[in-house]
Structure 1
Amino acid sequence: MTRFAIIATPLLALTLAACASTGSNQVAQAPVAAPITPVYSAPLVASPAQTTQQALLTTSVSNGFVDTAALAQMSAKDSAAANTAQFYALQFGRPGAPRAWTGDKGTTGSVAVGPYVRVNNLDCRDFTHTVKIGGQEFVKKGTACREQNGNWTVEKAAA
């Protein structure tokens, strides 16, 4: 065989192989996935906002956070404002920085807290809750501890 035949034979074979495909020109298509429908369900663990809201509803000024003489004169709006201030002061307040609140008909108050102290594996803080009603001032001091469920309870109260 000549050199030309040695080179030309494989080239001719490749050319004929390329032209020999006689199958249909169908193109395979990948499967198409159906759109995903989101499934909404309640969270298994309460979010911090839910925990805060639940604790806010169960940490009540009527449980020893406010002087009983003042509590007897407070309206529902006064109690709600005092309760919110008490919870947020205990939960997030800086030591010595009072959190003020305003209720109905000129009733006002403030809550000051001390630093966190660890007692029996619970976070505790001293607090002073001052309520002013009709020119009279009521002061309640004590120590509150945060339970495992987020509620604050008065552990020790002073007049």
Structure 2
Amino acid sequence: MVRKPEGNTAMGNLARTHVSLTGALALAVLLSGCTGSGGVKPLSFGPVSAPVSANPQPAGSDAILGALNGGILPPQAASTLSRADRLRSLEAEYQALEKTPGGQTVAWKAPVGRTSGEVTAGTPYQVGQQNCRQYTHNAQINGTPVTGQGAACRNPDGSWTPLS
């Protein structure tokens, strides 16, 4: 009777295949934690899934921006902005609060004229059950520098409301 070496048996081949697949799977799991994209990571307190609201509003919607109650720029300066520039400034505030790592800025600029701004949000913190951030909005409105500072807390629907 001729015996095949043990390494060539069907059982031996199955064992080697299992070991190879297990090693490949382990490597894939280890590498899956690496993003390599260099993109912005979610806020440490941000939800992983969609907002709780039954009708979530997309970023930039009137409801989301309306919750900012006009933003943190001084009202007398903000009132001189055109509607489009006002929306640009509020969208920058929302984006800074919602998506930007602490200390980084979100810039906005009017397509015409000398009006622009930058919003910088601080490190997220929690007050009770609400996630909050301090932020600063530096703007040039028709060439005049204006600054607003404040804090806002995130609502269950994904909007942010400034603290007064």
- TM-score band by shorter chain is 0.5 to 0.7
Deviation at 1:75, TM superposition (A): 0.3
Counterpart residue number, 2:115: 107
Alignment of 1:134 with 2:142, yes or no, is yes
Normalised to the residue count of structure 1, the TM-score between the two structures is: 0.61
Deviation at 1:52, TM superposition (A): 4.9
- In the TM superposition, what are the counterparts of 1:1-159 in structure 2 within 5 Å? 51-53=56-58, 56-58=61-63, 59-60=65-66, 62-103=69-110, 104-156=112-164
Q: Using the alignment, how far apart are the partners of 1:140 and 1:47 within structure 2?
A: 30
Deviation at 1:111, TM superposition (A): 0.3
The amino acid of 2:140's aligned partner reads: K
- Gap runs ≥5 in structure 1: 1-45
Normalised to the residue count of structure 2, the TM-score between the two structures is: 0.60
Q: Can you list the C-alpha shifts for 1:102-152, whole angstroms capped at 9, x where unaligned?
A: 124221001000011011111100000112012211111001000111110
Q: Using the alignment, how far apart are the partners of 2:72 and 2:61 within structure 1?
A: 13
Q: Using the alignment, how far apart are the partners of 1:74 and 1:143 within structure 2?
A: 22
Structure with the larger RCO, 1 or 2 (CA within 8 Å, 6+ apart): 2
Q: Can you list the C-alpha shifts for 1:29-54, whole angstroms capped at 9, x where unaligned?
A: xxxxxxxxxxxxxxxxx956x73516
Percent of aligned positions that are identical: 26
Question: Retained in 2: the 8 A contact 1:55–1:149?
Answer: no
Question: Retained in 1: the 8 A contact 2:69–2:162?
Answer: no
SS at match of 1:86: helix
Question: Retained in 1: the 8 A contact 2:114–2:143?
Answer: no
How many residue pairs are counted as aligned between the two chains?
110
